[in-house]
């Protein structure tokens, strides 16, 4: 259960709750798969780590369907392909 940061604090970094949930879950999956954490928090939960990263401004929430999101997804897909080769 996330106590800090609160949902209201996190909403300052997202357009709405839906975008916040999607971004937090995507980042939590990346952390769970072994990506380096971007926060100094000693938490073990990937969800809490992701929330802390968003709250600290170390992860930017990009609007679904935006040009930035498409570029980020393309880069992510290319990185995954090169790891699998």
- Answer whether residue 33 is part of any domain: yes
The pTM (predicted TM-score) of the whole model is 0.72
Specify the number of domains making up the chain.
1
User: How much is the average pLDDT of 1-26?
Assistant: 88
Residue 17 counted as domain residue? yes
| 65-83 pLDDT, tens digit each | 656 655 666 667 677 777 7
Q: What is the CATH number of the domain that holds 33?
A: 3.90.940.10
> What's the mean pLDDT in 19-27?
93
* pLDDT above 90: residue 64: no
Residue 1 domain flag: no
Q: What separation in angstroms does the CA of 1 have from each of 15, 40, 43?
A: 22, 19, 12
Residue predicted with more confidence, 29 or 70: 29
Structural domain that includes position 42:
7-84
The rounded mean pLDDT for the chain is 84
């Amino acid at each position: 259960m996330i106590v800090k940061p609160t949902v209201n604090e996190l909403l300052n970094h997202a357009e709405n709750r839906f975008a916040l949930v999607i971004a937090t879950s995507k980042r939590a999956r990346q952390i769970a798969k072994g990506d380096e954490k971007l926060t100094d928090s000693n938490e073990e939960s990937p969800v809490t780590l992701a929330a802390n990263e968003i709250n600290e401004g170390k992860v930017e929430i990009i609007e679904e369907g935006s040009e930035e999101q498409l570029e980020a997804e393309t880069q992510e897909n290319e990185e995954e392909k090169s790891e699998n080769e």
